Amino acid sequence: MTTAPTLVWFRDDLRIADHPALHAAADRGAPVIACYLLDEHGEGVRAPGGAARWWLHHSLAALRDELAELGVPLVLRRGPAVELLPALVAEAGADAVLWNRRYSPARAIDARLKSALREAGVDARSFPGDVLAEPQDVRTGSGTPYRVFTPFWNGLRDRPVASPLPAPDALTGADAPGGDALEAWGLLPTRPDWSGGLRAAWAPGEAAALARLEEFAGELDGYAERDLPAVDASSRLSPRLRWGELSPRQVWHRIRAAGGPQSEPFLRELGWREFFRHTLFHEPDLATRNLKPAFDRFPWAEPDPTELTAWREGRTGLPLVDAGMRELWATGTMHNRVRMSAASFLIKNLLVDWRVGEQWFWDTLVDADEASNPGNWQWVAGSGQDAAPYFRIFNPERQAARFDPDARYIRRWIPEYGTDAYPAPIVDLAATRERALAAYDTIR
């Protein structure tokens, strides 16, 4: 008699270390089959944007190779997970399906699948996902979700965080049902292939992610300079965390072990990631609805197509904003300080609804995240739960003078900076600031 295999369903957790579902599959002892289902239209699903698809392709290729070394096949299928997963279970003759939980609106799919599979006699089980503490377990003293970051962080920082699980060293594979070729999914851009800058900046996959974590832990003291965009002082771990090439638990424990004065400020940033994940769990329409309802009445301007294009292409004439937008287009990322300035410029100086900018970032960031992207846009807009007040308007010239005083970052991305070829500002900063404050006065 052959033993029925265990199916492990991979989602935003493209790694084999600290993977609770894969670990539990190893513990079951039966042969293992892995699968990844590209479900772009399912309930609550937000389909990845262009840069994210590029990352997904390469990270899946890396995962496929890692699993192959363990003898485990990765089956790829595209379509609605609610149909594909039960079909795959039946074809493989699996008697168990294991996955790590997600906290986005797509968890509706998982809940449905879990009960349907269990009814069919399949051992369907889920495990903690990509958080330090699960949202359902973190509450204020009065039992409500936290709405303000500092008390959330104070509640979180001293909680025990589960130690990372090792990668399984031995698994048994099983004959797998057929699947798609990764290349056939067309996740990579062609005609034109705009991914050259991404390739130069990044090597997706778990091995590179772990190597970067090690490297960063060794240079943690440099994090003190994280606000300077010309200096490579931050971890650049955001896409690794977004795609689950690393778990936040791994990062947490590694940085705690590194210690020193910068470990706390770093972990606090990881706390913001966690805060927005918990927020998304409680506010599933975070990307579309102002968390402060007064903003529903905000008199946004109809976006001027010329201004919007100038913002997207980094030709606003405000060097810090333009450098950031060009960095984003070239590499799929942007320094955090500059993200704040670029977002503030769109929302406040151009008076464009934050959702327009959020969507552009969604399409262009390799770390585009369903929680952190809208969470941060709402933070800059002032419409979020614990947000910067609307009237605090970043001045991109002063931000540049403060954080890029010798324009090193600016020159890196704007070769024509300081010449006649570089445009004059498309708007007057002082006048648009006054316009934004007047608009805000109408909703306070």
- Site residues (vs ligand FAD, CB under 6 A): 226, 234-238, 241-242, 269-270, 272-273, 276, 336, 339-340, 343, 361, 365, 367-369, 372-373, 376-377, 380
Residue 9 vs 54, nearer CB to ligand FAD: 54
Tokens representing 371 are 């929680």
Which listed residue (153, 185, 272, 329) is catalytic?
272
Beta bridge mates, 78: 38
Catalytic (active site) residue 272: yes
The helix-helix angle for 319-331 and 305-313 (nearest 10°) equals 70
Q: Is the peptide bond before 374 cis (omega within 30 degrees of 0)?
A: no
**185 catalytic per annotation:** no
Pick between residue 272 and residue 300 the one whose CB is nearest to ligand FAD.
Answer: 272
Choose the catalytic residue: 377, 379, 395, 413.
377
Of the pair 15, 339, the CB lying nearest ligand FAD is at 339
| Shortest distance, position 358 Cβ to ligand FAD, whole Å | 8
Give 95 or 269: the residue with its C-beta nearer to ligand FAD. 269
**Active site includes 300?**
yes
Give the shortest CB-215-to-ligand FAD separation in angstroms.
Answer: 12
Whole-number Cα distances in Å, 65 to 68, 165, 181, 304 = 5, 20, 13, 47
78-to-36, 43, 116, 178, 420 alpha-carbon distances in Å: 8, 15, 20, 12, 50
CB of 309 to ligand FAD, least distance (A): 19
Strands (E), 87-168: 96-100, 123-127
Angle among Cα 10, 330, 235 to the nearest 5 degrees reads 60
User: Toward ligand FAD, which CB reaches closer, 307 or 369?
Assistant: 369
Which residue blocks in 125-220 are alpha helix, DSSP H? 149-157, 196-201, 206-218
The catalytic residue among 134, 300, 329, 397 is 300
Is 44 buried (19+), middle (13-18) or exposed (0-12) by CB count in 10 A?
middle
Counting every residue written for the chain, the total comes to 444
Question: Least distance to ligand FAD from the beta carbon of 208, Å?
Answer: 14
Radius of gyration of the chain (CA): 23
311 as an active site residue: the answer is no
Instruction: State in angstroms the smallest separation of the CB of 94 from ligand FAD.
Output: 34
Of residues 372 and 432, the one with the C-beta less far from ligand FAD: 372
Instruction: Give the contacts of 430 (CB within 8 A, at least 6 positions apart).
Output: none
**Least distance to ligand FAD, CB of residue 12, Å:** 12
The catalytic residues are 269, 272, 300, 336, 354, 377
